[in-house]
Amino acid sequence: KNEVEQSPQNLTAQEGEFITINCSYSVGISALHWLQQHPGGGIVSLFMLSSGKKKHGRLIATINIQEKHSSLHITASHPRDSAVYICAVRFLGETSGSRLTFGEGTQLTVNP
Amino acid sequence: EPEVTQTPSHQVTQMGQEVILRCVPISNHLYFYWYRQILGQKVEFLVSFYNNEISEKSEIFDDQFSVERPDGSNFTLKIRSTKLEDSAMYFCASRLLSSYNSPLHFGNGTRLTVT
């Protein structure tokens, strides 16, 4: 069964700490998305990657295709980073780019 | 920056009623999607739409659901006869291309409450 697992489920950090959120998936993928869901529910796409590493500001996303694992890192975390971070993948063999399978999300709380 | 807009932000309806959730995707995008998130659960794929037809749908997207793009700008999701279990946040998304390196843009969602 095609599955996406995220860890941890909940993460509390102090402002300035380095954060890592992990995502593992069961079979080969063609793309992996990291999404941010705000407290009001809206979803923002942070990264889309199929190999290597991407960086945007204080956010870094890495993926290891052989190990079927991706990480999202936040450097110098800030209270405004508090949100749910969701990993979503497109498994190989899916007929279009549409069917994403989502992880359960990681609730991040950054305290001042 | 262009964005995907969804209306209404919150819809309350009685069981058995029809609802239409509306989305205005980014204007030059070609691929459109609906996802839903039941409270406390994962986001789930419902349907994708391209070239005025459904390109893929999930097991959730049964005969009670339909989508259309009536006027070239709006993209709607209709639920014919709502059930209590349809209560969820519904997200519309769009992208320019189908390829994996074309970013996916989400709307802020419509919270549907069926009573």
What are B19-72's pLDDT values in tens digits? 999 999 998 899 999 999 999 999 999 999 998 999 999 999 999 999 999 887
Q: What is the pLDDT of residue A39?
A: 84
Under the banding of pLDDT at 50, 70 and 90, the label for residue B86 is very high
Residues of A in contact with B89 (CB under 8 A): 41
Report the chain A residue with the minimal C-alpha distance to residue B105.
A45
Distance from CA of A15 to the nearest CA of B (A): 26
Q: For residues B94 and B74, what is the distance between their CA atoms, to the nearest angstrom? A: 12
Report the chain A residue with the minimal C-alpha distance to residue B46.
A99
Q: What is the pLDDT of residue B72?
A: 79
Judged by CB atoms closer than 8 Å, whether chains meet at A42 and B107 is answered as: yes
Residues of B in contact with A101 (CB under 8 A): 45
Judged by CB atoms closer than 8 Å, whether chains meet at A97 and B107 is answered as: no
Residues of B in contact with A90 (CB under 8 A): 100
Q: For residues A103 and A101, what is the distance between their CA atoms, to the nearest angstrom? A: 7
Q: Which of A90, A35, A89, A23 is nearest to A59 (CA)?
A: A35
What average pLDDT does the structure give for chain B?
A: 93
Q: What is the pLDDT of residue B33?
A: 95
**Portion of chain A with pLDDT greater than 90, in percent:** 76
**Portion of chain A with pLDDT greater than 70, in percent:** 95
Q: What is the pLDDT of residue B25?
A: 95
| DSSP symbol at A80 | G
Under the banding of pLDDT at 50, 70 and 90, the label for residue B74 is very high
Residues of B in contact with A43 (CB under 8 A): 43, 91, 106, 109
Indicate whether B99 pLDDT > 60: yes
Say whether residue B106 is in contact with chain A using an 8 A CB cutoff.
Answer: yes
- Please write the tens of the pLDDT for every residue from A59-93: 999 999 999 999 999 999 999 999 999 999 988 87
Say whether residue B108 is in contact with chain A using an 8 A CB cutoff.
Answer: yes
Of these ranges, A25-39, A74-88, B90-104, the one predicted with the greatest mean pLDDT is A74-88
Q: What is the pLDDT of residue A97?
A: 55
Indicate whether A96 pLDDT > 70: no
Under the banding of pLDDT at 50, 70 and 90, the label for residue A95 is low
Burial track B26-60 (b if 16+ CB lie within 10 A, e otherwise): beebebbbbbbbeeeebbbbbbbbbeeeebbbbeb
Judged by CB atoms closer than 8 Å, whether chains meet at A101 and B45 is answered as: yes
Judged by CB atoms closer than 8 Å, whether chains meet at B106 and A43 is answered as: yes
Distance from CA of B56 to the nearest CA of A (A): 7
Contact B61, B47 (CB under 8 A): yes
